Amino acid sequence: MLSIDVAMYEYVANHPLLVPVLNGRVYPALAPTQAVFPYLVYLEVGYYAARHLLGLSAPRWSQYQWEIHGTPHAQVGAVKLLLTKALDAFHGVVAGVDIRQVYVRDRRSMSEDDRGGGQQQLTCAMLDMDVLYFVAE
């Protein structure tokens, strides 16, 4: 079955703006414990498709949350802007899924110490997005 998750991964992991920075470090839900910074984690947090007697409606909506992890803060900020630019241009057929529209709704950043007694600051940026798409049944 064609999947919006596969389309998200394929598009972002192979996007020419992001490959030099992330080198394929794009993970669904959780990153490996020893993942090298910077990296992305994504998760589908919402889904909508109208159901009727003939099955599902053709257009579907998914909501995704993207997290960018890294250090220093400037590195994460730069990746956040590149990811936003890539997602703003996201449309067309990817992995068999017809992406019609992407809405990046919210961008947030935060910093925290490494909790190990050091001075390392870990930074996380988050993007929320909605995607309207069609899947061939």
CATH code of the domain covering residue 117: 3.30.2000.30
H helices of the chain, where? Answer: 4-13, 19-22, 73-88
Give the domain extent around 75.
4-135
Closest Cα to residue 65, out of 131, 1, 133, 129?
129
Structure tokens at 85: 């630019």
Question: Into how many domains does the chain fold?
Answer: 1
Q: How far apart are CA 121 and CA 54, in angstroms?
A: 53
Q: What is the pTM of this model?
A: 0.83
> What is the pLDDT at residue 136?
64
One DSSP character per residue, 93-128 reads: EETTEEEEEEEEEEEEEEEEE-SSSS-PEEEEEEEE
Average pLDDT, the chain: 85
Model confidence pLDDT, tens digit, residues 44-78: 999 887 777 666 567 888 999 999 998 787 888 89
Q: How far apart are CA 17 and CA 79, in angstroms?
A: 9
